[in-house]
Structures are given as structure tokens and as C-alpha cells.
Structure 1
Amino acid sequence: MICARLVTIAALAEALLLFTMGSRGMQVHPEGVADTVSSVTTADPFGNPCDPMAAMPGMSVMGESMAAMANHMCVTPARPPQPGDEEKARAVLAQVRTVMEKYKDYKKAIADGYIQANPTVDQPQFHFNNEANAKLADTQFDPSRPTSLLYFRTAHRRFTLEGVMFTARPSATEDELNQRIPLSIARWHKHTNFCAAPANQVKDYFGSSPRFGMFGSIHTREACAAAGGAFMPVVFTWMVHVFPYEDDLKNAFSMNDDVPHFHP
């Protein structure tokens, strides 16, 4: 079932990982999404500028997980640096570090309403998501209330807090995102061109060469229809990951989730 908005933020991460496709498995923000997107373009369905990740140079720096979604990702274009951008970004990092001190113990995160996504799935990075914060993020930016806490699994500790994820409604403009975190420093991303598998082919998500889903080869409406799938031009919200324990701004706003972003 495709709901009118995020019913639970836990379901967001479930769908991203493509391990479930039940009534809570796929959530979207419809918000007037155009139904005409048929291929990767230089604009998202809301008309905002979009760098298709498949065409971006240096994709290896994003890690295999992000690179595998190249045909299903819209990334905000990088803006030229402006006076005050670095100071604004560093102020966000300082606020995030303060928040993270409280949640180094994941049990405190749970007590404050964060829910672990996919608790039964073994993964290197765990998202703990807060639905109330996600709703707030649709209309305003509060660095003290991230939508998600990102915990990395180490050899000696299951949940090591390394960063946070902020979100914004999918129709948010480039200027709105820039007001939150300057686009000369951070690049927000949004998941696009999703082809949901027919009920009798959901096992395809787990295959070594999937056709459907966020890692699938199908990324156009025409190909999705021909395969019997359900096409969604945009799924979920704008997102950006922030890793405040990194020493430089490039790594602090990295798109690579496959490596740890903390220094023991």
C-alpha cells in the first residue's frame, strides 16, 4: 500500500533497503508529483535542478552502496562558495555534536522516540528514525532534532554513533535546502525512478542483478510498465547525512556510508 505520507519513519529505511514491501514498506510524499518522468533528467519532478548521480564524476568516493543506486538518485548541484557558507556549516556541525553526545547510548535514543529500522537485518550502518522530527523537518530546520541517528557497527560494539540524517519534504526547492545547509558544502539527495516489483517477483530485490527496486536496472516508466511493475518518480524525502566527528567539511557531509566516520 502506498500511503499519502510517511506513516512511520522506520518504514522509510525498510523500503530503502528493500527488505519489505508490505503495507508499511513503501511510503511516499505525493505533493503533486508529476506523473511524466520517464528517464533520468536534469530536473526532478518538481522542476528543481538535479544532478543525476549516474553522470557524476568521481562516484567511487560515494562508496558501493550509493554507487549501486546511480540510476535512482537525484543529487543537488554544487553551488559556488558564498561568504558565510563555511561558518554556517560549521555551526550546524557544532549543534549536531551536542545532540550526539546525548545519544551515544542508543537506549537514550529509543527513550526519546527513535526507532531502529530493520532490527532483524544485519547491516554495517543502522538508522534510528524519529517520526515526529521527520514531520517537523517538512516545514522547518532544527539541527537539534535530526530525523535519523546513524550508528555504525564495529568489531567490538554494535551501535557506535557516527552521524545523523536530516530530511526535507521532496518538493523543497534548491534555495530552501541551501538555507538549511549551504549547497556549496553539502549535497542533498533524493531517491527517484523506483520500479516496484509485481507481487510474484519480489524475490528479485535480493538477486545479484536485480531489475526492480532502488538497486534495479529498471529506471524508466516505460521499462517498468513493460515488466509489470509500478513506477514511482520520487520516493521519500530530500536527505543529507552529517558526520560531525570528521576533521574536514568534505568528509563531514560525505555521501559514502560504507566507511566509518568516527575516529576511535
Structure 2
Amino acid sequence: MTTGGPARVQSFRRISRTDAAEDIDRLVADETPIAIEYNGLGYAVLMASAADLDDLAYGFSRAERLIDDAAQILEVEAHAVERGMLLRITLAEDRLSLVAERVRHRVSESSCGLCGIENLEQALRTLPRIDPGPPPADAAIFAALAALDRHQPLNAQTGGVHAAAWCAADGAIRLVREDVGRHNAFDKLIGAMLRGGFGWEGGFALLSSRCSFELVEKAALAGCPTLVTVSAPTALAIDRAREAGVRLVVLARSDAILVAR
């Protein structure tokens, strides 16, 4: 499946401050419901760009803690269905109990409140502790920031998608995935790295988004030592990063960066 998701042409009426008006066409990013199924069991529906779906399958499965490595996914099939896509993922038999357990937590409802407490524990499960190693040089982060636009073809066309990049220790961008959702873009990047057998090798992830706790958790589960985002973090994101040992660099712009302490 190709990098850079689908877009479609949309007509607009452009009105300037001087009241001049004209009809224009421009590309807009498509947003598609992606239904995810594991071994025939419905699991989740994501709103995503319908591209790089194999990568999404691997990265999402890792983020959900359903797999530890790429070999535990036996097959991925993407099918166009009415109003969206169906992503069928076949896991090794020894992973199926994890799917059933996660589905139970996703759908459990009870008036007693106990299930709610249990689901809160599931929402903030213990993260693996990683060794971040030496930090990337500040110059490497600024170099990656300066280069990111050149690796975002879909965003150049539409102005409406996020990017997640794997950057080498010197700031060179090795791999990028784009999606309308920041979580999906990171899942696709992690999935592409899993499928390719790539490690972080002292590099870092650069995301064109704010830093939410879910992105920190994806980084920790993927063994990512340093997470760089162009917008601000939440307090919970900082707490979860500290818990996992992930180094956070936020509000990363061309003139300054903030390193969480």
C-alpha cells in the first residue's frame, strides 16, 4: 500500500478581505472509517487515511499490546466495504486470549461501578521502562524540524494531515507516515519499522502534533527513546513519559524547543 493517503477534489468559494470572490478547487484529505478485525472478531473502528494499512495493522496491534514482534501477525487483508474499509488481521493462536481480554474491557458496562474502576486501570496500564540512552543533539532536532515539510506530500496537497517521522541520531529523516489522525500516523510509522525490522538506533520520533499521553505510551511500547512533538504536552503525557523513561521534547519549533525535565 502506498505512502501518502488519498485525497479528493472539493469546490470552494474563496472570498478575500477586499470582497473579491472566485470559485476554486483544491484537494482535501479523505477520512475513512477503518474497521479492524482480529481472527474474525470485531475489535475497533478508526477514522483514518486509507493508505499504508498494513503498517497501521502492525503499529496498532503493537500499541494495543496484542503483539510483541512482527512475526506474531500471520496475515493482513484490507477490503473496501460500503462506506469504509475492513482491515482483517490474523494473529498467531497464542495471541488470541489477549484479543478476547481487550475486547471484554472495551465493551464491559455495569451499574455497580466496578467495571469502570477496572477499565480505568486498563486505561493507565503499567508501561515498560526503557533506557533512553544519550539524548540527540539539539542541532539534530532542529535539522529534522527543518526537513519535515519536504517529507509530507499529502499535507503539501491538502494542509490537513499529521506526520510521524523516524529520525536518525543526526536528524536525518529515515521514514515518514502521514494520516488525518496523529495516533494513526504514529501507529503507521511504528508498524512500518516493525515490518522492516528497524530499530531506533539512537534516533527519535518527530510528530507534527501535540503530545498526548497515548502518543507517549505508543513511544514507550515501541522502545522509542525520545519523542519530539511540535505542540504542547498534557500533564499526563509528561507523567507517563517520566514513568516509562521516554525523553520528551515539546513545542519544537524552528527557533526553540522545550525539553521536559
Per the TM superposition, whether the score is higher than 0.5 is no
Question: Normalising to structure 1: TM-score of the pair?
Answer: 0.31
**Which has the larger helix fraction?**
2
Question: Normalising to structure 2: TM-score of the pair?
Answer: 0.32
**Which has the larger strand fraction?**
2
